[in-house]
Amino acid sequence: MTTAETTPIAYPFNDPEGLDLSGAYEEARHRPGLVRVRLRYGEPAWLATRYADARLVLGDRRFSRAEALNRDTPRQGEGQMDGGILSMDPPDHTRLRTLVAKAFTVHQVEKLRPYVRELTHSLLDELEAAGPPADLVDRYALPIPVAVICRLLGVPEEDRPKFRVWSDAALSTSSLTAAEWERNREELRAYMARLVQEHREAPRDDIMTSLIEARDQGDRLSELELVDLCVGILVAGHETTATQIPNFVMVLLDHPDELRRLREEPELIKGSVEELMRFVPLGVGASQARYATEDIEVGGTLVRAGEPVLVAVGSANRDALRFDEPGRLNVARPATQHLGFGHGVHHCLGAPLARLELQEALGALIGRFPNLHLAGDVVWKDQMLVRGPRVMPVGW
Amino acid sequence: MTWKAEVDGGRCMASGMCAGIAPDLFVLDDERARPLSEEVPEEERVLDVADSCPAMAITIVDGGATVVGPRP
């Protein structure tokens, strides 16, 4: 067994620009035990890189997220991302999650499909009318999830320029000092608190209103929990999907045979979104460390009670013990239990919505533009937890 | 009194949500979740599990075979 005395290596491994998975992960998967790593801030941690180890750490209740609040948790930016539903354990986590879970089930989300489809087509009409080239991020990838989450949550879509800045900063890593990060969070909270007040005075048919009812009539959450939950839904509800749309397009343009197959067999779109979720390592590196609440053996390493473990889902999704030809993109790959949406109690709340948006956005785009191609230099996001183009000029 | 829990294996996407919320009642096998025992206690927590399943794969029925979870 590996011991905690091993000298930690610098992490994250991935290049922040591009979507490649660092070769260091494959090496790590082949070595027994977990990897000892150190991030720019916080205490050293164990890193799980194999599929089975990742599932164990994410799914086992003996690992805690809430403990991170008491610790100098391993992180890429100075600001501590404390608070919110991602830093809770059951039963507190369950109490909040169940209040919103029903809005995001497969059944509920499917009702939005016609609306999302119409949205994608009207955005493509606008692109066509304006003519190439166009920035796929600003004109297509962002407007889709922003419009959908604003409508579901009850946030005015015209505020997008405002919350874009805060949302970017919330996921930013080393570009902000702890004080700047804190100030940004307070601005976003103040903005959301004003919206909550407006909804209290004039209830509507949206998630914010149902959360206000759960607070004011059922006392099921505190005012700060209410505000933070709305902030979390707004940020998580658009940032990752808006990033994955151009990422998926980049990867498909890089795999012309797979893209051709997807155009010829559009019924593969649902499966191809799952395959792209598996294939694209979105994060620069693992974050949101889990803390062992007792001694637990993971992949040949004895993790001591109180030690943090990071889970590299991008690496787990390329584990040859789980996936045939893991490094190959195969849009017709049979269904897999990839970890792109996480696993366990923190499994992405919005996964059904993200799937629907990705399916519709990708399907409509490649269907409309048979000659879709890059038409300029891609500018990559910088110092963010998620990787992807900030600007992606395309022609058709 | 107890309720009965069923997991629809066709719908289950192995998110691990149920086993995370109630590890004493649900277990996640390799590809899908199942109740450890079909009989589950009449507890709010059990309804929380059915409500939280992202795949809506869990059904809870009472003694009279009436569906009590997931709640509408």
**CB A19 within 8 Å of CB A281:** yes
Query: Radius of gyration of chain A from Cα atoms?
Result: 21
DSSP secondary structure of A281-348:
--BSS--S-EEESS-EEETTEEEPTT-EEEE-HHHHTT-TTTSSSTTS--TTPPP----TT--GGGS-
Lowest-confidence region among A78-87, A109-118, A278-287: A78-87
Selecting from B23, B48, B54 the residue whose C-beta is nearest the C-beta of A347 gives: B54
All residues at 6 or more sequence positions from A184 whose CB lies less than 8 Å from its CB, including other chains: A166, A169, A170, A176
**CB A154 within 8 Å of CB A195:** yes
Per DSSP, helices labelled H in A134-255 are: 136, 143-153, 160-170, 178-201, 207-216, 223-236, 239-254
Nearest CA in chain B to A98: B52
Q: How does residue A1 score in pLDDT terms, banded at 50, 70 and 90?
A: low
Q: Does B55 touch chain A (CB under 8 A)?
A: yes
Q: Cis before residue B70, ω within 30 degrees of 0?
A: yes
pLDDT confidence of residue A143: 95
**CB A148 within 8 Å of CB A353:** yes
Selecting from A105, A343, A349 the residue whose C-beta is nearest the C-beta of B56 gives: A105
pLDDT confidence of residue A87: 93
Q: pLDDT digits over A292-319, tens only?
A: 999 999 999 999 999 999 999 999 999 9
What would the two tokens of residue A160 be? 């997008």
Average pLDDT over residues A153-179: 82
Which residues of chain A have a CB within 8 Å of the CB of B67? none
Which residues of chain A have a CB within 8 Å of the CB of B14? 337, 343
What residues pair up with B72 in beta bridges, in sequence order?
Answer: none
pLDDT confidence of residue A3: 52
What would the two tokens of residue A18 be? 């591009």
pLDDT beyond 90 at A41: yes
pLDDT confidence of residue A285: 93
Q: Is A122 exposed, middle or buried (0-12, 13-18, 19+ CB in 10 A)?
A: exposed
Gap between the Cα atoms of A368 and A91, Å rounded: 47
Gap between the Cα atoms of A383 and A366, Å rounded: 30
Sort strands A134-135 and A296-298 into parallel, antiparallel or unpaired: unpaired
pLDDT confidence of residue A106: 81
Selecting from B15, B23, B31 the residue whose C-beta is nearest the C-beta of A61 gives: B23
pLDDT beyond 80 at A82: no
Q: Of all residues in chain A, what percent carry a pLDDT higher than 90?
A: 77
Average pLDDT over residues A54-72: 94
pLDDT confidence of residue A388: 96
pLDDT beyond 70 at A175: no
Q: Which amino acid is at A301?
A: T
Gap between the Cα atoms of A367 and A166, Å rounded: 34
Q: A286: number of CA atoms within 13 Å, CB side? A: 32
pLDDT beyond 60 at A4: no
Helices A178-201 and A223-236, interaxial angle, to 10°? 110
Average pLDDT over residues A335-355: 91
Q: pLDDT digits over B10-66, tens only?
A: 888 788 888 888 889 999 887 789 999 999 999 988 998 998 888 889 999 998 889
Sort strands A308-311 and A45-48 into parallel, antiparallel or unpaired: parallel
Best of A97, A100, A341, A355 to disrupt the B interface (most B CBs within 10 Å) is A97
Q: Which amino acid is at A354?
A: A
Across the interface, whether the CB atoms of B21 and A345 are under 8 A apart is answered yes
**CB A67 within 8 Å of CB B18:** no
Higher pLDDT, A152 or B44: A152
Gap between the Cα atoms of B62 and B72, Å rounded: 16
How far CA A362 is from CA of A230, A276, B64, in Å, comes to 27, 11, 46
Across the interface, whether the CB atoms of B20 and A90 are under 8 A apart is answered yes
Tokens 């990559």 -> residue: A380
Gap between the Cα atoms of A258 and A39, Å rounded: 36
Lowest-confidence region among A12-26, A37-51, A171-185: A171-185
Selecting from B19, B28, B51 the residue whose C-beta is nearest the C-beta of A101 gives: B51
Which residues of chain A have a CB within 8 Å of the CB of B15? 341, 343-344, 347, 351
The enclosing H or E element of A119 equals helix A113-130
Across the interface, whether the CB atoms of B28 and A59 are under 8 A apart is answered yes
What would the two tokens of residue A314 be? 């991008």
Selecting from B19, B55, B56 the residue whose C-beta is nearest the C-beta of A59 gives: B19
Which residues of chain B have a CB within 8 Å of the CB of A294? none
Domains of chain A: 9-395 (1.10.630.10)
Average pLDDT over residues A26-50: 97
How far CA A286 is from CA of A66, A280, A383, in Å, comes to 17, 14, 14
Q: Is B5 exposed, middle or buried (0-12, 13-18, 19+ CB in 10 A)?
A: buried
pLDDT confidence of residue A84: 85
All residues at 6 or more sequence positions from A173 whose CB lies less than 8 Å from its CB, including other chains: A40, A75, A76, A77, A284, A383, A384, A385
Nearest to A300 by CA among A63, A45, A35, A23: A35
Report the mean per-residue pLDDT for chain B: 89
Q: Which amino acid is at A330?
A: N
CA angle A6, A12, A16 (to 5 degrees): 165
Measured between CA atoms, how close is A105 to chain B, in angstroms?
A: 5
Average pLDDT over residues A173-187: 80
Which residues of chain B have a CB within 8 Å of the CB of A343? 14-16
Across the interface, whether the CB atoms of B71 and A102 are under 8 A apart is answered yes
Q: pLDDT digits over A347-362, tens only?
A: 999 999 999 999 999 9
Gap between the Cα atoms of A14 and A35, Å rounded: 15
Best of A104, A106, A220 to disrupt the B interface (most B CBs within 10 Å) is A106
